[in-house]
Amino acid sequence: MLTADQLLIELLERASSLTVTETIPTETALGRVLAEAEISTINVPPLDNSAMDGYAVRTAECHVDSILPVSQRILAGQIGEPLQDGSAARIFTGAPIPDGADAVIMQEHCQAEGTSVRLLRPVQSGENIRRAGEDIVAGDTILERGTRLHAAHMGLAASVGRAQLTVFRRLKIASFSTGDELAQPGSALKAGQIYNSNRYTLSGLIQALGCEWIDLGAIPDTLSATITALQRASMLADVIISSGGVSVGEADHIKAAVAQIGAIELWKVAMKPGKPLAYGRIDNTDFIGLPGNPVSAFTTFTLFTRPFLLKRMGATHVLPMSYSVPSASAWLKPGSRREFLRARVQHTDNGATEIQIYPQQGSGVLASAVWANGFVDLPAGQTVEIGDSVRFIPFSEVTQ
Ligand code: AMP
Ligand code: MG
């Protein structure tokens, strides 16, 4: 059995980045992975400009109670005239600083008097001027290859004029659930059945990564149905993800099926929830078999499958951040495997931060993953006393 750290290393070693790229409009690039570094050809801002609504002045001509005639008015988007000696230019936020001016005095520190302005405060050279290139200098690499694009990345690319970005193509993921007991939501439950939740959890997780989800539904617990589903999936997708049937029970056919038409390379990880997890290959398609228990499927996807998929997608940064936070819950049952407890980080009344651990940690208790907003990553054999610091991985780090 692999440790969780070993599994992650082994999976990442096997994750080869996509090579095919496409060029898409910048506004559609959310969640995509940049395939080429973006280098700016311009300064941002392009010109020195005003950070405030106020008056552009020559500070050498200014002191408290100076009265300066207002010689021009410069709005954002306009270029003013050089500043006349002994005058002030009315100027607005974002407007270029006129030649000759070396500061902007904010309007709250002035008093308009007819066509002149009285300065009420001292002003220093450079005050309220945003310098050309203060954000970006021409030639700067603004985004590295392998960056997964979020809102600020899209905005930054646009700020240097990029209407299009070159990204890796979408990763195609085919998923199916296994289990004779599974009923589809929308149909009535027959005796002995449960609703298929993993299909929905996985669809959300896969789509949140920006991958193309190929849904192969649910399949019965037979070797032949499993082989058929795997063969179909391997022709359609870059990665196959299954849920359930990956243990060694009589109704578990995943390992045998993959072994028959491909190879199983990794199996079983020493963690709770989630022990039975398999990695294999069928031709050039990766296969990841997740456990069937809903919390196990969620946990093994978010902590192991997601980094693997991100690397496959071409992303450089694939691992989540975690934080050390004091626990307000005790957890007194030491586990023989590393545990990922569903827990909630919250504010205390005095504004500090604390962890609450969900009391029911069964691998079938999916409500725990809705109540919680992250995992407490607890080493094997450890307990938690109230006040102990624990390692917390927010779901926001692993579900998008
Ligand atoms: P398995 O890994 O197939 O032995 O399944 C372990 C447990 O998870 C069993 O109780 C299954 O009924 C349950 N399970 C498996 N697949 C799903 C699914 N897609 N949705 C909800 N529960 C499931
Ligand atoms: Mg099963």
Atom of ligand 1 nearest to the CA of 199: 19
Q: Distance from the CA of 396 to the center of ligand 2, in angstroms?
A: 29
Residues 211, 32 contacting (CB under 8 angstroms): no
| CA of 294, nearest ligand number | 1
Q: Which of 215, 288, 293, 295 has most ligand 1 atoms within 8 Å of its beta carbon, as the pocket-test mutant? A: 293
Q: Write the single-letter amino acid at 352.
A: A
Atom of ligand 1 nearest to the CA of 246: 2
Evaluate if pTM is beyond 0.85: yes
| CA of 251, nearest ligand number | 2
Q: Whose CA is nearest to atom 15 of ligand 1?
A: 292
Atom of ligand 1 nearest to the CA of 218: 19
How far apart, in whole angstroms, are the C-alpha atoms of residue 95 and residue 107? Answer: 14
Q: Write the single-letter amino acid at 121.
A: R
Q: Distance from the CA of 361 to the center of ligand 2, in angstroms?
A: 20
| CA of 297, nearest ligand number | 1
Measured CA distances, 197 to 172, 201, 202, 298 (Å): 21, 6, 9, 10
Atom of ligand 1 nearest to the CA of 245: 3
Q: Distance from the CA of 153 to the center of ligand 2, in angstroms?
A: 42
Dihedral pair phi/psi, residue 157, rounded to 5°: -60, -40
Structure tokens at 8: 């992650």
Atom of ligand 1 nearest to the CA of 364: 8
**Per-residue confidence (pLDDT) for residue 373, from 0 to 100:** 98
Q: Which of 194, 247, 272, 290 has most ligand 1 atoms within 8 Å of its beta carbon, as the pocket-test mutant? A: 194
| CA of 277, nearest ligand number | 1
| Contact residues of ligand 1, CB 6 A cut-off | 177-179, 181-182, 194, 196-199, 243-245, 247, 291-294
How far apart, in whole angstroms, are the C-alpha atoms of residue 143 and residue 34? Answer: 8
**pLDDT by position in tens, the chain (length 400):** 999 999 999 999 999 999 999 999 999 999 999 999 999 999 999 999 999 999 999 999 999 999 999 999 999 999 999 999 999 999 999 999 999 999 999 999 999 999 999 999 999 999 999 999 999 999 999 999 999 999 999 999 999 999 999 999 999 999 999 999 999 999 999 999 999 999 999 999 999 999 999 999 999 999 999 999 999 999 999 999 999 999 999 999 999 999 999 999 999 999 999 889 999 999 999 999 999 999 999 999 999 999 999 999 999 999 999 999 999 999 999 999 999 999 999 999 999 999 999 999 999 999 999 999 999 999 999 999 999 999 999 999 999 9
If you count them, how many residues does the chain have?
Answer: 400
Residues 56, 83 contacting (CB under 8 angstroms): yes
The structural domains of the chain, ordered by start, are 4-19+170-313 (3.40.980.10), 21-44+135-168 (3.90.105.10), 49-130 (2.170.190.11), 323-397 (2.40.340.10)
Closest residue by Cα to residue 178 from 252, 282, 274, 263: 252
DSSP letter, residue 53: S
How far apart, in whole angstroms, are the C-alpha atoms of residue 147 and residue 156? Answer: 13
**Per-residue confidence (pLDDT) for residue 274, from 0 to 100:** 87
